[in-house]
Every structure is written in C-alpha cells, then in structure tokens.
Amino acid sequence: AGLTTFMVMVYIVFLNAGILGDGFQLAADDPMRIALSAGTALIAGIMTIAMGVVANYPFALAAGLGINAIVAFSLTGRGLSPAGAMGVIVLEGIVVVILVAVGFREAVMNAVPLSLKRAIGAGIGLFILFIGFANGGLIQSGCSPFVPLPVCAGTLVTVSFPSTVAQFVFLFGLAVTIVLWVMKIRAALVISIIVTTIVALATGVTSVPPNLAWTPNFATLGNFDLTNVFTILGPLTAILVVFAIMLTDFFDTMGTVTGVAAEAGLAEEDGSVPGVGRVLMVDSVAAVVGGLAGVSSNTTYIESAAGVADGGRTGFASVVTGVLFLLAIALAPLAGIIPSQATAPALVLVGYLMFTQVKDINVGELDEGLPALLTMILMPLTYDITVGIGAGFITWVLIKVARGKMSDVHPLMWIVSLGFVIFFLQAWLVMVLPK
C-alpha cells in the first residue's frame, strides 16, 4: 500500500521544482532546480513518516499543489522574493498550528460556508490549469511574467496557436496525460512527465545540462525570510494574504482527511475521524517545515486514497511511502532536465480535478452561485488567490444582508469580510487619511 501511494505521488518531486523554478524565473540548468527537487523529496519523506508514527494513519504528505503556485506566482507577483514568499508560508503554518493547538479549527470550519470552501478549491484548480497552459506556451499575458492586474498593462491573455516544437511537445504531453488518466494508470502523471521529457530531449526542446551533478543539493533549506513580509506587503495585506492561504491549506486538509478516512472505513458514522487532532497537528507542522525548507507548504495528499484502496489502514503504509520519498532524493538531478512542457500537462489535469468541486455548488441559488463565481473566476484573472477569496467573502455577506438573513452570517465572517473591504480600499485610504 505504501509503494502504491508513492507511485501515484512521486511526480510532485519534479512538478513542485518545475512550478517553483518557473515562478522564481530560474534558468533551466540552474542548480536551485535540483535543490528544489531534493528538498521536496526530503520534506515529503520526513513528514509522511511523522504522519505514520504520530497519527498512525495511512496519509502521505508532500508540497501542496495550489499553494506552491500561489507562492511561485501570486506572492512573488506582489513583490516578494522567493525567500519572502516562503516566509509567508511559515507564518501561515504557524497560524494553523496555533488553531489546531487551541482547538479553534471547529470555529473556523463553521464560520466559512460550505459553498465558499468548495469555490476556493475550484478556483485554485482554475488557477493551476491557467498556469499549466501558460507554462505550455499556449496562452500568453500582456505582462511577462504574469503579475497581478493592478500593475499589469496590456492584454490580459492572448492565445498562441501551436507553431513551435515546444508547443507541440506540450500538446503531446497533454494527450498522453489524459489518455493515461482515462485508462486509470496509477502512475499516470509521473509516466507522462517521463515520456514527454524523452520527446523533449529528442526534439531539442530540452537537453542534459553539461554541469549536471549527481550529488545531493539541499540549498533551499533555510531559504525563507520573515523580515520584509510586512514591509513589502503592508501589515493589512500581509495578514489577509496569510489568512487566505491558511483557509486554502486548512480546508483542503480537512476535505482530504475526512474523504480518505471514510474510504478506508476509519471514520465514524457521523463522518468524524478518531484522533483527527494528531493528523491535523502533523499536517500543520508540515506547512511550517515546508516553508522553512524553502519548498512550500506540505499537506496531506488525496493520492493517499490509492494506498487505502490497496489495503493501507495504518501508519505503516505512510512510513513505507516516506522512506521511498527519502530514496527518491537520488532522482533530484533529473529536475534539471525536465522542461516546463513536460510538467504543464500535469498541472492542467490536476487543475481540472480540483475544479470538479464546482459540481457541489448550487450555482442556481444567488446566495451560493455569485460569491462562488467571483471567488473562482477572479483567482486566475488576477493571478491572485487573495483577491478571489476576498470578493467571494464580501459578496456572500452582502447578499445575506440584502435578503435579511444576517443571522446566517458567522461573527468571524463579519470580521474577515470587513478586513477584505479595507484590503480592497487600502490604496484609496492611504490617499485620503491624514498622514
């Protein structure tokens, strides 16, 4: 069971390095790409073993897709350095650790309506899908690289019809990924990345770096910076950005844990998971450790369900998966060979899978549909998850007030929505408020 989970997750060793490397604008042969890959495998291995030992559940952890895209593109687009972006992740992880430690998670879960929780996940899916097509070279922005709209002039998105070898390699990879997934091949993503990389090598889209070193490189460890986060973003923006990422991390974990536990028959009749506090604590610590290691927040993976389907019921499966991730550090140098055209198809598919949460949103009901739509659509359009969540929160509260349903609004929603109003108006407030 542990081997099965590893096989369906090992793609993240390359994909996380690709996402962060592209977002940080690293050259294809930059040694930091290898360091990102090695760090990804190292932290995934350590935290997955910790999950097995501490919580005794067959859950595996690795760098979270969605949050790594936010780090690579959204946070750096706000002016943060890669180390500063990781500093935000450290702060977010600390917030989640505190919430879990004081038992405040139930209050947070109850405060945000289910439709918005689903919209956040679906919106991040669109965001990831958008990045996939951009990395594949099929769409381009009036800004290069993509940055948030307030500082982006020109056409938002233009279509670049296939005309280069690199674009056709991406389309080939996308076709392979889709076919393998439809065929229910468990290692579909890692196989598609390998096959597409081979084609990219054969067609000259990528090459083996002459200085490729097959020695461990952990240069990302400790690559975080807390000193300039509040200075660059501003206190209010920094707090709201941390809150937005915390929501994403928190609810994604809760959904994954409850879903996989139910599939394994480990959940109670009411859907609760025995000992979930230990699971959430390991997961929240993984967020902090991922930021400290410079590889982004680590979180529980839905792919753990593959190991459960193969018989995994205890933490032993996680220990096996974790050990295999540690062994996978030896594969890190391959990150210097794998082009974005090989990892982009995986982003498109993962984005779609996250977007499928939209099916559970009652879009025909204005209370749910409009806030959810704004949450989802504004994330990719602005390249900023915080803007999407803020618009969704404010709209949801506004509609409830307009319909005389103020009693439906949790006190925490009032506070956070007011914070987002100030967030959107802060540029104007700076001009009108006395110095």
The residue ranking higher by pLDDT, 160 or 177, is: 177
> How far is 284 from 290, CA to CA, in rounded Å?
10
* Torsion sign (Cα): 294, 300, 302, 308: positive
Rounded to an integer, the average pLDDT of 355-383 is 88
DSSP for 201-262 reads: HHHTSS---TT---S---TTTT----SSHHHHH-HHHHHHHHHHHHHHHHHHHHHHHHHHHH
**DSSP H/E element including 274:** none
Would you state the structure tokens that stand for residue 155, as one six-digit string?
């056409």
* pLDDT (tens digit per residue) in 170-209: 999 999 999 999 998 877 888 888 899 999 999 988 887 6
Rounded to an integer, the average pLDDT of 5-20 is 84
Rounded to an integer, the average pLDDT of 246-250 is 76
Residue 379 lies in a domain: no
* pLDDT (tens digit per residue) in 308-357: 766 778 889 999 999 999 998 887 777 668 788 888 888 888 888 878 88
Per the structure, the complete domain to which residue 161 belongs is given by: 2-355
Mean pLDDT (the chain, rounded): 83
> How far is 132 from 124, CA to CA, in rounded Å?
12
Residue 404 lies in a domain: no
Residue 412 lies in a domain: no
| Local confidence band at 270 (pLDDT 50, 70, 90 cut-offs) | low
| Local confidence band at 148 (pLDDT 50, 70, 90 cut-offs) | very low
Residue 430 lies in a domain: no
| Local confidence band at 60 (pLDDT 50, 70, 90 cut-offs) | very high
Give me the pLDDT at residue 157, please.
64
Overall number of domains in the chain = 1
* pLDDT (tens digit per residue) in 223-241: 998 888 888 888 877 887 8
Q: Where are the alpha helices (DSSP H) in 26-164?
A: 31-50, 67-69, 76-77, 82-101, 105-111, 114-135
| Local confidence band at 105 (pLDDT 50, 70, 90 cut-offs) | low
Q: Quick one: what percent of the chain has pLDDT higher than 90?
A: 29
Give me the pLDDT at residue 213, please.
59
Strands 61-63 and 298-300 come out as antiparallel
Rounded to the nearest 10 degrees, what angle do helices 11-23 and 340-355 cross at?
A: 100
Cα 183 from chain centre: 26
Residue 411 lies in a domain: no
Residue 175 lies in a domain: yes
The amino acid present at 98, given as its one-letter code, is I
Give me the pLDDT at residue 149, please.
42
Give me the pLDDT at residue 108, please.
66
* pLDDT (tens digit per residue) in 373-426: 999 998 888 777 778 888 999 999 999 999 999 998 988 889 888 888 887 886
Q: Quick one: what percent of the chain has pLDDT higher than 70?
A: 85
